[in-house]
Each structure stands twice: as structure tokens, then as C-alpha cells.
Amino acid sequence: MASVETPASVPESTDKAAAAAAAAAADAVDKYSVEAAEALASEALHLPIADAAPMYEQLLAVFPTAAKFWKQYVEALMTVNNDDATKQIFSRCLLSCLHVPLWRCYIRFIRKVNEKKGVEGHEETRKAFDFMLSYVGSDIASGPVWMDYITFLKSLPALNAVEESQRMTAVRKAYQKAIVTPTHHVEQLWRDYENFENSVSRQLAKGLVSEYQPKYNSARAVYKERKKYVDEIDWNMLAVPPTGSSKEESQWMAWKRLLAFEKVNPQRIDTVSANKRIVLTYEQCLMYLYHYPDIWHDYATWHAKSGSMEAAIKVFQRALKALPESELLRYAYAELEESRGAVQAAKKVYESLLTDGTHNASLAHIQYIRFLRRTEGVEAARKYFLDARQSPNCTYHVYVAYAKMALCLDKEPKVAHNVFEAGMKRFMQEPAYILEYADFLSRMNDDKNIRALFERALSSLPAEASAEVWKRFVQFEQTYGDLASVLKVEQRRKEALFGTVEDGGSVLEGSLQDVVSRYTFMDLWPCSSRDLDHLSRQEWLSKNISKKLEKPALPGGPGFVDRGSSGLTSTSNGSADIIHPNTSLMVIYDPRQKPGTTIPSSVGPGVSVPSSNLPNPIVGSAVGSSTSALDDILKVTPPALVAFLANLPTVEGPTPDVDIILSICLQSNIPAGQMGKSGTMTKQSVPVHAPSVSEVSGSSKSRPMPSGSSYKQTGDRQSRKRKGQDDDDSVTVQSQPLPRDVFRIRQIQKARVTSSQTGSTSYGSAFSGDLSGSTG
């Protein structure tokens, strides 16, 4: 029996489709997941090659330059002696992965295949070594490759003296190439070369060693510099599209520095050898920055500047294969082909941009029209424009570009005018197109048609899209019209953009802003920047003048708006765009107030709280829930700190006078706190001395200052007393070492500088034990 589809099944199928689409998007995102790739490679490592091969192919399709995956794949094939498949894998990866471990694996395979072929096998192996060294011989890690090659040459059989001489010559040449290459093993290779020459002929060795000693020294010096750049590179990194992570950026910079180092040819070798090193560095860089178009472009550009145009073309072709969606690389490639006269090759690149459905088809049309105009003439460009305008993805940009080309290059203003008029039928609703058309007419000095164009456009454009057109219309009237026409257009602009008089009557009135706009020319203004700021502020206020603020009566004062605990006011229409703080609720900041508590406005800053013993009116302003919290704080506060806080004066405004506070701090007698047996400090009743006006002013006569020597002696006696009596139950607070308070030290230094300039006593000396000023 056929089932009947219920309405509930429709959203279920929709959910499945959405889930499938989400899964596909997730797969696309996870395609370049490094963790997933590493896990898959690890899994394939423990599987038979028949089961692991599809996994390797899947990995290498995403990471085609991952040398470690190629090496793992080929080693698995070599384990089962599948020579044909191994050769095929090597042919796919060797030239794109200039990685020394992978190439050494290739040499092992070649030697294994040819070990039983006698002389013919030896020759094949030697050719394989030469092939490998031509690509990776200048790598900084190629020292073992040179050693393997030299060992192989020494192992070749020599049936007669001629063959022995040829073998020694081949070994000597290999050594001489190896010792001038900056590798990790350059010093070991030099020692081996010296031993080799001495074993052949001591007399000949002396001349050869002295000849190659400077070259070796240069290679060793370059190696030390080269190693600094190489050590910054992560050689296990997989090539993924750039995501902007810090690691990717650091690797990009590391490769850029290494490339710059190689390009200056620090070893001063011949151009061919230097270019080989640069090519090797670029190829190795692309193994890890495979998805970076700027690296591909730099590589191709370097080849072109070096005179290797064919190599540059091959690099661009590889780049387009690696990054088929990169329009930048296609334009750069087409430019290279056109610059060398290959018009047909460049034309194919432009056609591929048009047929492959690029992200910006209009730009492709414009660039192709310009290319045809440069290479095939005016008629070819005009013919293609007529075809391109029929395309559904043709935008107004194509019309503007072709009209400008007809005006500037072909000197045909009538054709340009016709193109603009044809575009008006399709792009009347595009303000940018209207402005471009107006610029063209202004260039032609056709003021009548400009005014007609503005009238046509503004009659059909919606208000939200016509602001720039109105602005250009006003500027046009200021240039071509009289005062009456300027004022009329400005009034029409206000009515169109800001509505009727009921909606914004104040905006429709004339203002100084209008005068500024009328009498400004280029970077010349009829007023100062301060006046401009003031006018801008007044303009904003005038736009919001009709928005009345809610101002209910407040017991504490008029004009206060109660918004709960936030203390903010807002407009009557509930707009949350701009929220103004209610300044009537501002109080002096009290650091002892518990976060989250509020201070009622009914309690003035001069009202004392009964639960507080501090005469400071700032402290006494906290009531309600903050009183108990303040009491808890005072219970654990040392009496010395309580006395210090009590001496602080009333603060007028948000910022106290630092000099007065510092003077009071330095003049205060900190009471001694007694330490009980339990280790807690007990409170003492110490009378608090309120500073007089003379004390606040910093006079040294109102409070005698102990001399520096007596202070030091007292500190020394107290220090010796503490050392001699470890079981003493009472220690004075002032005898303890001063805390490392950075703020206090900075204020003391500031007081010293001030006193040194005025010649008065420095209060900082009470802490440091010095008198920097005169006491009289």
C-alpha cells in the first residue's frame, strides 16, 4: 500500500537537505584539516598497501606537495617490491617535492634495482646521483647526499690504471663541489677531502688544499648565515590555504627572508649556480606555501627579470593549475604573454576568464575590451562591447569603461555620449552611473544636458539612494548657476532628503553649514577648524532638537530621569542609539565602596555615617548595604592605615591635589601597632592630628623633622634589636622595612626634584634618611 505523504514529511525532507548541505560545507572546510590528514596517514601506515593506496591518493590529492606523505607512500610500495608502481610514484612527486629525504629514498630504490646489473647498473646509478645533485645538491641538508655519492664513486671497480685515474678524478670533482656548498656537513667534507688528497699525493694535496681553502671558508661562513634563516622554517608544515594565523604569517616571513638572502648571492658564486639555489629555494617554498598567489607571482616575475621567459611561463601555468580560482594570477599571466608579443596566448587567458564564470565577470569584460583595443584595434573592441552588453551579468561598469575608452583613446565624444544614453535605459537607478555620466557631460562642458540629467535621475531615484546625486547637483549649480539657482537646489535637496516641515522643520531652515558648503573651494575653507567642529555639533543638535527628553520631577532636584540603577537618560521615543549619563547622580569616587552598591543622592558628601569611626566625609558617604561592608573592611584594616586614611582631606572634584596629599603623608605620625602572640596586630587609640594650613603648605617649622643620621641610627638599633631578640613580642611598625611601593617611590622622587628646585626641605628624606634641602 502506497504511503501518503503528510505535511510533516516536507520539513523533514527539507531538514535532511539542509543537513546534507551543511555536511558538504563542513567537508569543504575540513578538507585541509591538518589533524585529520595526520591521522589518516598514521592509519594508512599500519594497513596493507592495497588498502592504504586509496588513502594515500586521497591525502595527496589535497596535499600534492607533502613530501612526507609521498615518502611514506613510496616506501610502502618498495616494501612489497612493486617496482613499477614505485617508479610511477617517483615520476609524480620528485620534481615538485625537492625534499632531501624523499630524494635519498629515490636513490636507494635506484641502487636496489641496479645492484645486479654490473657496469650498466653502476652507470645508471651514477646518472641518478647526478640527476639528484642537480636538483637538491645545493640544499643545506644535502651533506649526506654528497657523502653517499663520494662513497659510491670510491666503490666503483677499476680494472686498469686508466679507470683508476678516472675514478680518482671523479671523486676529486665531487669533493670540490661538495666543499663549496654551504651544508650542515661542510666541515666534515673538508676534512675528508684533505685526507683524500693526502692519501693520493702529498705534494699535489698541498697546492689543491691551499687553492680551495678560501672557497671552503666562504662556504662555511655562508652556511652559518644561511642556517639562521633555515632554522626559522617549519619543515613539517602542510600546505593549506592562508587563514591569517600567526604561525602562517611567521612562516611566510621566514621564507621571504630566506629568499632575499639567496637573491643577494652572499657567496659570490657564478650566476648559473646562484640561480640554481634561488630556484631550489622557491620550489621548496612552494611545497609549504602552495596556496599563496604572491609566491607564485614572485617566482614567475623573478624568472622573467632573469631572462628566463619560458621558465616564467611554466611557473604561471603551474600556478593556474594549483590555484584555478585566482583571477590575479590569470591577469598577471596574460600580461606576461602580451608583453612578450604572444597575443594569441594572452587572448586564451582572457577567454578563460570569461568562460570559467569568474567572480567578477564585468571586470573580465572590461579588461578584455581594453586588450582587444590594444592588440586588434577599435573595431574589435566595439564589436565585443556590443556582444558583452547583451550578457545578463553585464553591469554599468562596462558601459562606463567603454565610453571613457571611446572618449580618451578613440577621440569620439559622440560615441561615448551614445553609450551613456544607451546605459540610462538600464541603469537609471544606479547613482554611481548617473555621477559618471555627469562627469562626462561636465568634461564636455554641456551644462544644459547635465541639468537635464540630474532632473531625470532625481525624479526616479528613491530618497535613500539620491544623497550623492543631490550633492553633485548642488556642486554643479555652484559652478554653473547663479545664486538663486544654488539656493533653490539646496532647498529642494533638503526637502527630498529630510522630508516635510512637520518632520524636520529645523533642518529645512538655512544654517551656516550651507554657507560653508557654498563658499568652500578644494581645501580652502571660509572658517577655522574649530568653527567647523562647532558647526558640526550644532548641526547634530538641530537634527535632534525635536526629540524631547523625559524630565519627571525628582526629590533631589529638577530635570532628573530615574532609570533604575543605571542612572542614564534617554529620549522619549525609546531610542537606544545615544544614551546620556545623568550627571546629577555623580558622586566622588570611594575605593572602599563595595562593587555593585549605590550611594543615594539624599546623602550628601558631608554626612557622616554613625557606624564609621573615620571623620573623613568621603568615607561617611557610604550608607545602607555598604555600611556593613565598610565595617568588615575596617575590622581587618591595620590602625596605621586607618589613621592615614583619617588624615586625608576632603577631595574637591574627581582628582585630588597630589602635592597636598603627599605633604600630609610625609608629615603624618604613623602609630605603632603591637603584635600579639597570635601574630595579629592590635588596635591602639592614637589621637589623630588634623593638619593645619601651615602644615599643608609644607612648612618645616610646624612639625620638626628628625635628622637623617638619627633616623638611620634608630633604624640600625631597631634592626640589631630584632636580630638579637627573636622572641620579642612587640615590633613597631616604623621599624619594619618599607614596602616596595612604586607609586610612593615615584612621588618621593617628584618631591625631591621639587624641593631641590625651591631649596626647601625635602619630605622624601623622612623615608630615605637624607636631607636634600636646607633646613635653616
**Residue 142 shares a structural domain with residue 217:** yes
Out of 108, 136, 164, a domain closes at: 136
Residue 56's CB is within 10 A of a number of other CB atoms, namely 23
Comparing 622 with 316, the larger pLDDT belongs to: 316
Domain membership flag for residue 707: yes
| Mean pLDDT in residue range 402-427 | 93
Q: Across all residues in the chain, what is the average pLDDT?
A: 78
* Residue 80 predicted with pLDDT over 50: yes
**Residue 57 shares a structural domain with residue 73:** yes
Domain membership flag for residue 698: yes
Per-residue pLDDT band at 685 (split at 50, 70, 90): very low
Out of 543, 560, 576, a domain closes at: 543
Q: Evaluate the CA torsion angle 734, 737, 740, 745 in order and state its sign.
A: positive
* Residue 529 predicted with pLDDT over 60: yes
Residue 620 pLDDT? 42
**Residue 679 shares a structural domain with residue 742:** yes
| Mean pLDDT in residue range 231-248 | 93
Please report, to the nearest 10 degrees, the dihedral formed by the alpha carbons of residues 672, 678, 680, 684 taken in order.
-40
Residue 677 pLDDT? 42
Q: What percent of the chain has pLDDT over 70?
A: 69
Per-residue pLDDT band at 602 (split at 50, 70, 90): very low
* Residues forming beta bridges with residue 521, ordered by sequence position: 524
* Residue 444 predicted with pLDDT over 70: yes
The amino acid at 109: F
* Residues forming beta bridges with residue 568, ordered by sequence position: 581
**Residue 132 shares a structural domain with residue 142:** no
Domain membership flag for residue 624: no
**Residue 209 shares a structural domain with residue 119:** no
| Inter-residue contact 77 to 86 (CB < 8 Å) | yes
Look up the pTM and report it: 0.66
Comparing 381 with 18, the larger pLDDT belongs to: 381
| Inter-residue contact 663 to 696 (CB < 8 Å) | yes
* Residue 737 predicted with pLDDT over 90: no
Residue 81 pLDDT? 92
Residue 756 pLDDT? 53
Residue 187 pLDDT? 95
**Residue 676 shares a structural domain with residue 760:** yes
Angle CA 287–124–93, to nearest 5:
20
Domain membership flag for residue 604: no
Per-residue pLDDT band at 554 (split at 50, 70, 90): very low
CA 118 to mean position of chain CA atoms:
60
Q: How many CA atoms lie within 13 A of 705 on its CB side?
A: 28
Residue 464 CA to residue 459 CA, distance in Å, equals 13
Nearest CA among 620, 554, 564, 558 for reference residue 587: 620
Residue 774 CA to residue 757 CA, distance in Å, equals 12
Out of 121, 136, 151, a domain closes at: 136
| Mean pLDDT in residue range 294-309 | 96
* Residue 500 predicted with pLDDT over 60: no
* Residue 387 predicted with pLDDT over 60: yes
* Residue 613 predicted with pLDDT over 80: no
* Residue 533 predicted with pLDDT over 80: yes
Per-residue pLDDT band at 360 (split at 50, 70, 90): confident
Q: Give the least confident one: 163-172, 294-303, 374-383, 589-598.
A: 589-598
Q: Give the least confident one: 203-212, 455-464, 759-768.
A: 759-768
| Inter-residue contact 299 to 286 (CB < 8 Å) | yes
Per-residue pLDDT band at 587 (split at 50, 70, 90): low
Domain membership flag for residue 73: yes
DSSP string, 471-537: HHHHHHHHHHS-HHHHHHHHHHHHHHHH--HHHHHHHHS--HHHHHHHS-BTTB-SS-HHHHHHHHH
**Residue 435 shares a structural domain with residue 533:** yes
* Residue 99 predicted with pLDDT over 50: yes
Residue 95 pLDDT? 93
**Residue 489 shares a structural domain with residue 443:** yes
* Residue 710 predicted with pLDDT over 90: no
Domain membership flag for residue 619: no
Domain membership flag for residue 345: yes
Residue 741 pLDDT? 56
**Residue 359 shares a structural domain with residue 415:** yes
Domain membership of residue 121 as a residue range = 33-136
Residue 744 pLDDT? 62
Per-residue pLDDT band at 775 (split at 50, 70, 90): very low
**Residue 132 shares a structural domain with residue 143:** no
* Residue 594 predicted with pLDDT over 70: no
Domain membership flag for residue 452: yes
Q: Give the least confident one: 94-98, 274-278, 330-334, 736-740.
A: 736-740
| Mean pLDDT in residue range 751-770 | 46
- Write the CATH number for 66: 1.25.40.10
Per-residue pLDDT band at 247 (split at 50, 70, 90): very high
**Residue 132 shares a structural domain with residue 157:** no
**Residue 531 shares a structural domain with residue 562:** no
What does the pLDDT look like over 624-661, one tens digit per residue?
445 566 677 777 778 777 777 777 766 666 667 777 77
- C-alpha separations of 182 from 142, 144, 259, 262 in Å: 9, 13, 15, 12
Three-class secondary structure of residue 137 per DSSP: coil
Residue 312 CA to residue 327 CA, distance in Å, equals 17
| Inter-residue contact 69 to 56 (CB < 8 Å) | yes
Per-residue pLDDT band at 231 (split at 50, 70, 90): very high
Q: How many domains does the chain have?
A: 6
